[in-house]
Amino acid sequence: AFAPLNSVTESDITHFATILSPSSLLSTLSPTSTSPEELDQFNNDWMGRFRGNSTTVVKPKTTQEVSEILKRCYEKRIGVVPQGGNTGLVGGSVPVNDEVILSLANMNKVRSFDPVSGILVADAGCILQSLTDYVAPHNHIMPIDLGAKGSCQIGGNVATNAGGLRLLRYGSLHGTVLGLEVVLPDGTILDQLTTLRKDNTGYDLKQLFIGAEGTLGVITAVSILTPPAPQASNNVILALPSFDKVLPLYQVVKQQLSEILSAFEFIDRTAYDLAVKHGQGRALSDEDVEGAECFVLVETSGGRREHDEEKLSHLLETLFEADKPLINTGVLSQSPAQFSSLWALREGVTEAVSKEGKAYKYDISVPLSSFKDVVDGTREHLHSRGLLHDKAVKHVLGYGHVGDGNLHLNIVADAYLPEIEDALEPYIYQVVASHRGSISAEHGIGAMKTHALHYSKDKVSIGLMKKIKEMFDPRGIMNPGKVLE
């Protein structure tokens, strides 16, 4: 256990003012006084579920400034929460008490890009979409893509080891991140910002910061391998009569599309209906949707359009012609606008859910064959507790990254109520553990799941994680209350 942390004082603010320009320091304690409301957007998380009470937000512009701020916080034992785009879904990006919020928003420059190797070096605060736009004229894409791309930052993506919609094709950030620059809790700058594809010189320290959720240090820059842009991209939405067709469909799709398959995403009927209700992307015709229990979005990314289209058409023929068709219908996008609109439908589920109500989110890895049982089982469980009605739980839905075995189970309620949480936990974690699954496939542990880590990690692993934390952060100032209890 770490010694208790201290609150920020006026003398700390005076000190921060010698490090930062006036516009980079927001504090309700400062003489030029910021109102508490101005800090609301930093203290509240994206879902409106987790809330901190920070008095102070610092927005450094350079790695040196980050280092000097951490040095002070380390000396004075003040907690620090690194904050990127604040789109995290597990309460990791907001304080649990009154820690200083260190926003990376002012560190948003590309440092270098090599169009031959595709290696991009960028400040941690660069927004993912802006990096996609930066590399596009050089015919490259980012190896990661997700619905929050317009707000999330590359540093936040690395800190959460975000998965997203392209993992099936380009792998995880543990593979595509080549180097990091990190400021350690005592202010030391760790320069591992290499641009080498290969570097087997001892322990790969950068890997520890990928997915550490800001508990070991502040990532200030990222070196990442960007793949060449595909010459042709297509997508198709398939409506399935029943969930049990998803697995056989995945097998056929993999086999037939082979090297051009780049995404295989699943949404159940409830998720589809909510996305349509809240105006996310392209809806299918009523006729196409009739009798569909779930939907799959397939994307191809390849080298030659005619070749890819031929393969896709052939796939659709096979699916329709089979003795027992695996799909009811398949709608191929016919234009770049339709292509984007089909993606918007899938990416927009999270947004739609947040418009519908308050969401409990379980981001789990379980065997693909059990996706439906987990969703239906949760619904039945809530029903048996008398919680499935208009005033409590409105919807239970499942969607996610089939290719990665990652199910997003969302429970949409009228409000966050203790009785709903009591019904959901530990129930869902026990279900996950019974499959030897993961209680967090891609969103992290944050503040939400610290108590549940043991469902997916044994004592030996948790013990080693605690030792690593103590070694990097002996005073426990970095993102306290997150990941480890």
| Cβ proximity to ligand 2HG, 90 vs 284, nearer residue | 90
Interatomic CA distance for residues 152 and 310, integer angstroms? 36
Contact partners, residue 352, CB within 8 Å, separation at least 6: 274, 275, 277, 278, 280
Per CB under 6 A, which of residues 236..275 are in contact with ligand FAD? none
**177 lies in the site for ligand FAD, by CB under 6 A:** no
What does the binding site for ligand 2HG look like in residue numbers (CB under 6 A)?
Answer: 89, 147, 349-350, 361, 363, 400, 408, 410
| Cβ proximity to ligand FAD, 147 vs 281, nearer residue | 147
Q: What are the backbone angles phi and psi of residue 385, rounded to the nearest 5°?
A: -90, 5
**159 lies in the site for ligand FAD, by CB under 6 A:** yes
Two tokens at 349? 């589920």
CB of 351 to ligand FAD, least distance (A): 6
- The interface region with ligand FAD, picked from 112-120, 130-138, 161-169, 431-439 by CB under 6 A, is 161-169
| Cβ proximity to ligand 2HG, 176 vs 350, nearer residue | 350
**92 lies in the site for ligand FAD, by CB under 6 A:** yes
CA neighbor of 408 nearest in space, from 337, 359, 461? 359
According to DSSP, the residues that pair with 27 across neighbouring strands are 56
Interaction partner, residue 160 (ligand FAD, ligand 2HG, none; CB < 5-8 Å by kind): ligand FAD
Rg, Å, the chain Cα set:
23
Interaction partner, residue 480 (ligand 2HG, ligand FAD, none; CB < 5-8 Å by kind): none
For 397, what's the count of Cα atoms within 13 Å in the CB-facing half-sphere? 28
Question: Which residue matches tokens 């918007």?
Answer: 344
Element (H, E) at 365: strand 358-365
Interatomic CA distance for residues 166 and 168, integer angstroms? 5
Interaction partner, residue 185 (ligand FAD, ligand 2HG, none; CB < 5-8 Å by kind): none
According to DSSP, the residues that pair with 294 across neighbouring strands are 240, 268
CB-closest chain residue to ligand 2HG: 350
In 357-485, alpha helices (H): 371-384, 418-424, 427-434, 459-472
CB of 345 to ligand 2HG, least distance (A): 11
| Cβ proximity to ligand 2HG, 354 vs 450, nearer residue | 354
Two tokens at 462? 């948790």
Interaction partner, residue 408 (ligand 2HG, ligand FAD, none; CB < 5-8 Å by kind): ligand 2HG
Residues of this chain that bind ligand FAD (CB under 6 A) = 46, 81-89, 92-93, 104, 124, 146-148, 152-153, 155-157, 159-160, 162-164, 213-214, 218-219, 350-351, 442-443, 446, 479, 482
